[in-house]
Structure 1
Amino acid sequence: MLTERLQDKLNQREKDGNLRRLTLPTAKYDFFSNDYLGLAHNEELNHIVEQTYHSLVPKKIGATGSRLLSGNSLYAMQLEEKLADIFRGEASLLFNSGYHANSALISSVSQKGDVILYDELVHASLREGYRLSFANHIPFKHNDLEDLEKKLQNYQNASAIFVILESVYSMDGDNCALTEMLHLCKKYKAYVILDEAHSTGIFGEGGNGLVCQLGLENLCFARVYTFGKAVGSHGACVVGSRVLINYLVNFARSFIFTTAAPLHNLVSISCAFDYIRQHPELQEDLKEKIYFYQQLTTNNQKPETENSLIINNFSPIQVIRISGNEPCKKMANYLIENGFEVRAILAPTVKAGEERLRICLHTFNTKEEISALVGMLEIISLDIDI
């Protein structure tokens, strides 16, 4: 009976054209990974990580337990101090992933009687956090200051108001209106939780993110930085006050009850930030590739069609809107067959009618590769049936 119920759900997904499957990349050119700075396969950095790891004594393959049991180490504590310094915070706490960090942070700090206001396009891990909490949660329109202010005014009687933002939104690739939103939240005494997943490494001094680049980090209650994207590693940290970090150590369930990250992972995070600081040209190169892509798509784009739209962003995430799961998958498969690894983002991951190709730009993408990709994308603006 249960198996049949599960299979029925899978069959419906298949019918709707959005059944997820595990696949391996087959195309030559990577325009789909989050490895924006190319650090995940940087041979020089890999050598540095291996040398650093093998110089440490003692070392273990696994952490052997949670941080509160056998999984803590001097290296982990020193890394947290280093990250707090990089991100200009009082303290930081390591988590095994950004998903763990976001869900644990929001679910543990918000309480019954509080209100959580969140941008309607925030990541699933942030949504998981507010669903696990006892606080009331209400969306506001994406990047809409007026709508956010109305809701801030409506809930002034709440015990505490939390506002959840992303500095760079993962599906649209656009930047948050951070300056305006942070000052608005300060006006209404709301506590901002900011996810810097897609700005870590590519914005700010030494890759310390967009809010530090703007010098507004003190207007945030808590910030989450992840290391599986531009940093090329894995894991995350929460940055905030010492009181917040001590609180999370005591009440964040995914921290308390999870085996800690292995030492090699911690070494890779530390070395990656050293490498980013020593190679500021990486950020400049990425900006240049983004600008080059924007110039090409702006020059080549034909008038918008009913079903497609090229959207340029100042982040590495670029978007081609193609309404409908099947047309979107068809275009992605066409690009893959022609050597360009691009992924279709389908409903229900995004709203029906807002399906898109999500194109990620990297330092290792050559201008020739980008030009060839844009040449393929002209088919979209011409609305040719492929």
Structure 2
Amino acid sequence: MLNNFQTALDKRNEEGTLRILKPKSDGIDFYSNDYLGFAGSKKLQNILLEKIIANPQLLSGSTGSRLISGNSFVITETENFIAEEHQFPSALLFSSGYNANLALFSTLPNRHDTIIVDEKIHRSVHDACKMSLAKKLKFKHNNVEDLEQVLKKQNGNCYIAIESLYSMDGDIAPIKEIAEIAKKYKASLIVDEAHAFGVFGYGFVEKYRLQNQVLATVITYGKALGTHGAAILCENVVKSYFINFASPFIYTTSAQDIQWMSIKTGYEFLNINKELSIKLQQNIAIFRKQGLKTQSSANSPIQAIVIPDNQKLKALQQNLSDKGFLVYAVFSPTVKEGTERLRICLHSFNTEEEIIKLTKIIKEFT
């Protein structure tokens, strides 16, 4: 069995796509999801530190799952706060976005239902669908017409799964149109706002006032908010259903209260530092003006430069690294073969000089 594992690893190594863990590098950040710079904000760190000093018990372990000993006033207060902020009846917190998606798609659909996913939906949704007994179908990426054609052929309950901002392509879903199609065919829409939250206010569901047209929304906090964890926004009955039937929720030890408190504090910090999202959009505009070829949305912090040549892509990444730029090269199977790309993440703290220098180096290779 070990030989089989080693053979698979050797194959990846030969292809140049072997994943290994590396120490965090020093350099100019164009690869993290810290879009607004919250993770490195001394101001936010000092606010959190003051709260910890005032209440050191925040650092204590939760001691169990939330159904046994792991529930607390802090987590309950945070959930109520999140629900009110997003104008949903309820919110249920999870330790990560991956866990939230596992709970959603392994719990709500049953064996007679159909889950229709955008072909570029996050891997966590695909993994969750394997845990579900429901049928899974795909529709063409961001293609409303294709989604309708798939829906027309279905009987019974259907769930539609999309991201509002896609993490590998950096493009924005036609969420209003998809919500209308879902309503037309009485399908339940689930929206993952992981990369949109914080960058575009509270996300596109809130922006377009679609709270009554979605079954659930996933908000994650490890990106623009600079902390960790996720929330599912939903109706009260859906939250109660998760608490009773969602294995990823029931059988997980709750995180420490410091995690939940940092989420609530992050929201408060976001609301008094709205200029950071404006600065981010200014930086995105500077990047777009440099004329690199990309299919990413014009106002997305994720800009994907497709380079379907593994050796060329690796050489470019290394060249940028040698010059102090931290970027991420994405190979298959993370993305479809032939669509390998340099995934560039822009931030509010990047300078115009850094952006122009970065794009100049990329142009020399493409």
Count of aligned residue pairs for this structure pair:
365
2:250 to 230, 245, 256: 256
CA distance in 2, matches of 1:22, 1:311: 30
Match of 1:107 in 2: 106
> Deviation at 1:81?
0.3
Map residues 233-382 of structure 1 onto 2, 5 A cutoff: 233-296=227-290, 298=291, 301=292, 309-313=293-297, 314-381=299-366
Moved more, 287-296 or 346-355: 287-296
> Deviation at 1:28?
1.7
> Deviation at 1:365?
0.5
Are the equivalent residues in 1 in contact too, given 2:52–2:59 (CA < 8 A)?
no
Q: Which letter maps to 2:63?
A: T
Match of 2:93 in 1: 94
Match of 2:166 in 1: 169
CA distance in 2, matches of 1:53, 1:260: 18
Pair 58,343 (structure 1): closer, same or farther in 2 beyond 3 Å: closer
> Deviation at 1:12?
1.2
> Deviation at 1:181?
0.7
Q: Which letter maps to 2:187?
A: A
TM-score between the two structures when normalised by the length of structure 2: 0.97
> Deviation at 1:53?
2.5
Matched, 1:178 2:163: no
TM-score between the two structures when normalised by the length of structure 1: 0.92
Are the equivalent residues in 1 in contact too, given 2:80–2:91 (CA < 8 A)?
yes
Tell me, which stretches of 5 or more residues in structure 2 are unaligned?
none
CA distance in 2, matches of 1:58, 1:103: 30
> Deviation at 1:24?
2.6
Q: Deviations over 1:57-103 (max 9, x none)?
A: 74442111111111110010000000101211100000000000001
Match of 2:207 in 1: 213
- SS of the equivalent of 2:117 reads strand
Matched, 1:4 2:3: yes
CA distance in 2, matches of 1:54, 1:265: 15
CA distance in 1, matches of 2:53, 2:216: 34
CA distance in 1, matches of 2:52, 2:236: 29
Match of 2:220 in 1: 226
CA distance in 2, matches of 1:61, 1:328: 45
Are the equivalent residues in 2 in contact too, given 1:172–1:319 (CA < 8 A)?
yes
1:203 to 176, 183, 200: 200
Pair 25,337 (structure 1): closer, same or farther in 2 beyond 3 Å: farther
> Deviation at 1:23?
1.3
- SS of the equivalent of 1:163 reads strand
Are the equivalent residues in 1 in contact too, given 2:58–2:256 (CA < 8 A)?
no
CA distance in 1, matches of 2:188, 2:135: 15
Q: Which letter maps to 2:172?
A: N
Are the equivalent residues in 2 in contact too, given 1:90–1:242 (CA < 8 A)?
yes
Q: Deviations over 1:103-145 (max 9, x none)?
A: 1111100101100100000000111111110000000000011
C-alpha RMSD over aligned residues: 1.2
> Deviation at 1:291?
1.0
CA distance in 2, matches of 1:133, 1:320: 35
Are the equivalent residues in 2 in contact too, given 1:222–1:238 (CA < 8 A)?
yes
Match of 1:84 in 2: 83
Match of 1:306 in 2: none
CA distance in 2, matches of 1:259, 1:100: 12
Q: Which letter maps to 1:328?
A: L
CA distance in 1, matches of 2:295, 2:349: 22
Calculate percent identity across the aligned residue pairs: 39
Pair 60,376 (structure 1): closer, same or farther in 2 beyond 3 Å: closer
> Deviation at 1:54?
2.5
Are the equivalent residues in 2 in contact too, given 1:325–1:347 (CA < 8 A)?
no
Q: Which letter maps to 1:345?
A: V
Are the equivalent residues in 2 in contact too, given 1:25–1:341 (CA < 8 A)?
no
Are the equivalent residues in 2 in contact too, given 1:294–1:312 (CA < 8 A)?
no
> Deviation at 1:217?
2.2
Tell me, which stretches of 5 or more residues in structure 1 are unaligned?
302-308, 382-386
